Amino acid sequence: MSTENLNPFEIVQQQICTAGQCLALDPAIEEILKEPKRVLMVTFSVKMDDGTAKVFKGIRSQHNDAIGPCKGGVRFHPDVTLDEVKALSMWMTFKCGVVGLPYGGGKGGVICNPKELSQGELERISRAYIEAIASIIGPDKDIPAPDVYTNSQIMAWMMDTFSRLKGSNQFGVVTGKPIIVGGSLGRNEATAQGCVFVITKAAEKLGLPLEGATVAIQGYGNAGSVAAVLLNKMGCNVVAVSDSCGAIYNPAGIELEVLYQHKRDSGSCINLPGCERISNEELLELPVDILVPAALENQITAKNAEQIKAKIVAEAANGPTTPEADRILFAKGITVIPDILANAGGVTVSYFEWVQNLMNYYWSEQEVNDKLQTIMYNAFDNVYAASQQHQVDLRTAAFIVSINRVAEAIKVRGHV
Ligand code: GLU
C-alpha cells in the first residue's frame, strides 16, 4: 500500500525544497517561502432562505508580498481545508513569479456546498465573507478572484460589498468581474487560453501536431469547458471530459456544442448520447495525446501515474499531480506542463483587469489576448531553458525561475 503524502501544504514545501537544492537557496529565504506570511480564519453567520441562520467558516491566506500585493482566487467547496488554502496561496506566489507579474500569492476559501445553495444564499455568503476579511484585502494589499465554484457574479457581489464599506467604487479590489463593472475582456477564457498557448509550445518541442491530437479533459468548469473549445479550434479532437458526476468518452470525438447544451440543461456531462460512460479515474488513463487535469488536487498520484498514456499533461487545475507521480511521469518521458505555468493565464489577465481598473482605460479583447500570448510564450521559454540548464522537469524549472525572482525581492528589500 502506498503511504504517499497527499497534504498539499507539505507537497508545496517539498517542491520549494527540490528547487531550492538546485539553486543552493539561502536557507533563511527557504524558511520564509515555506510558510504564508499571514492567515486569517473567519466565522460568519448567514440567513438562509428558510429563515434559519447558518454559520460558515472562511479562510484567506497571504503567502508573500515581496514583489507586490497578494493575488489569488476564492474557492467555495465543502472540502476546503486550512492546509489546502495555504498551499494554494503559495502556488499563487510562484505562479505570479513564473509569468513575471508584480504580485505575490494569496488564496481564499469558504467551506460550503454551492450546489445546495440558492442564488440569494450564495450572495449573502459572498458578501459576509468579504466583510469578514475586508481589513486585510484591497487593491494595493490583496486582490481576490474566481476559483473552484466561484464566478463573475460572485466577484461582483464581493466588489460591491467592499465598495460600500469604503464609501466609493473599488473596482480594483477583485478581478474576474462582469465587464460592465470593471471586468476585462478575455478574462473568462484566460486560464484556458493561457493553457492552450503553452500546450502549443510544448507540442512544438515534441514535434506533436495539434491537428488531430486527441485530448481528455478532467473537469468541465471555468477552465476545462473553455479549454475543450479552444483546443478543438486548434484542430484537436476532444474525446473525453468529466465533471463531479463522472466522465464520458467517445473515441471519435465529442460534439462540444451538444455537450455544452446538455450540461446546461441536465447539470452534468454524463449521459451525453453517443458517449461511453467511464469513471474520472479511467479518463486519466485513456490513450490520448494530451491530458488536461482541470479539476482538483491529487488526481495523478503514485497509484495511477504508471498508467498515464498521454504525451503532454497540461495542468489547468492547481496541484493535480503529486511529487511521486511527477517522478514517475518524468521517467516515462511524459511532458508535464506544471500548474504554476499551465494555468497562469487566469491570473495574468486578472493582472490586466486590475491595471485597467487602476487607469480607468479598457483594452480590446485582441489586445488582451496578444499581451497574454507574449507573456505565456516567454514564460514557457524561460521555464524550458531552466529545465535544460538544470536537467530537471518543467515543474522544478518553473519553481526555479519563480523562486529566483521572489528571492531577489526578499534580498533587495533587506528581509534576510
Ligand atoms: N484562481 C485562479 C488561479 O488559481 C485565478 C487567480 C487570479 O486571477 O487571481 O490561478
CA of 263 to the centre of ligand 1 (A): 24
Q: To test ligand 1's pocket by mutation, which of 75, 347, 348, 356 has the most ligand atoms within 8 angstroms of CB?
A: 347
Amino acid at 215: V
CA of 72 to the centre of ligand 1 (A): 5
DSSP summary character for residue 273: T
Please give the positions annotated as active site: 107
Contacts of 30 (CB under 8 A, 6+ apart): 16, 17, 20
Q: How far is CA 50 from CA 45, 77, 158, in A?
A: 14, 21, 23
| pLDDT for residue 44 | 98
118: its cell numbers: 440558492
**Residue 215 and residue 205: Cα distance in Å, rounded?**
18
Atom from ligand 1 closest to the CA of residue 148: 1
- Angle, CA 389 vertex, CA 383 and CA 394 arms, to 5°: 35
Amino acid at 15: Q
**Residue 4 and residue 314: Cα distance in Å, rounded?**
22
User: Does ligand 1 have an atom closer than 6 angstroms to the CB of 72?
Assistant: yes
Q: To test ligand 1's pocket by mutation, which of 77, 147, 296 has the most ligand atoms within 8 angstroms of CB?
A: 147
- What backbone torsions phi and psi does residue 9 show, to the nearest 5 degrees? -65, -45
Domains and CATH numbers, the chain: 37-169 (3.40.50.10860), 190-342 (3.40.50.720)
Q: Taking the CB of residue 239, how many other CB atoms lie within 10 A of it?
A: 22
Atom from ligand 1 closest to the CA of residue 347: 8
User: Does ligand 1 have an atom closer than 6 angstroms to the CB of 101?
Assistant: no
**Residue 176 and residue 155: Cα distance in Å, rounded?**
6
Helix or strand run (H / E) with residue 204? helix 187-206
Amino acid at 88: L
pTM greater than 0.85 (yes/no): yes
Helix or strand run (H / E) with residue 70? strand 70-77
User: Does ligand 1 have an atom closer than 6 angstroms to the CB of 345?
Assistant: no
CA of 209 to the centre of ligand 1 (A): 29
| pLDDT for residue 114 | 98
| pLDDT for residue 3 | 85
User: Does ligand 1 have an atom closer than 6 angstroms to the CB of 73?
Assistant: yes
Atom from ligand 1 closest to the CA of residue 344: 10
Amino acid at 17: C
Question: What does the pLDDT profile of the chain (416 residues) look like in tens digits?
Answer: 568 999 999 999 999 999 999 999 999 999 999 999 999 999 999 999 999 999 999 999 999 999 999 999 999 999 999 999 999 999 999 999 999 999 999 999 999 999 999 999 999 999 999 999 999 999 999 999 999 999 999 999 999 999 999 999 999 999 999 999 999 999 999 999 999 999 999 999 999 999 999 999 999 999 999 999 999 999 999 999 999 999 999 999 999 999 999 999 999 999 999 999 999 999 999 999 999 999 999 999 999 999 999 999 999 999 999 999 999 999 999 999 999 999 999 999 999 999 999 999 999 999 999 999 999 999 999 999 999 999 999 999 999 999 999 999 999 999 99
Q: What is the largest CA-CA distance in the chain?
A: 62
- Of 135, 81, 68, 140, residue with least CA distance to 108: 81
**DSSP letters spanning 130-154:** HHHHGGG-BTTTEEEEE-TT--HHH
| pLDDT for residue 1 | 54
Q: If you take atom 8 of ligand 1, which residue's CA is the nearest one?
A: 347
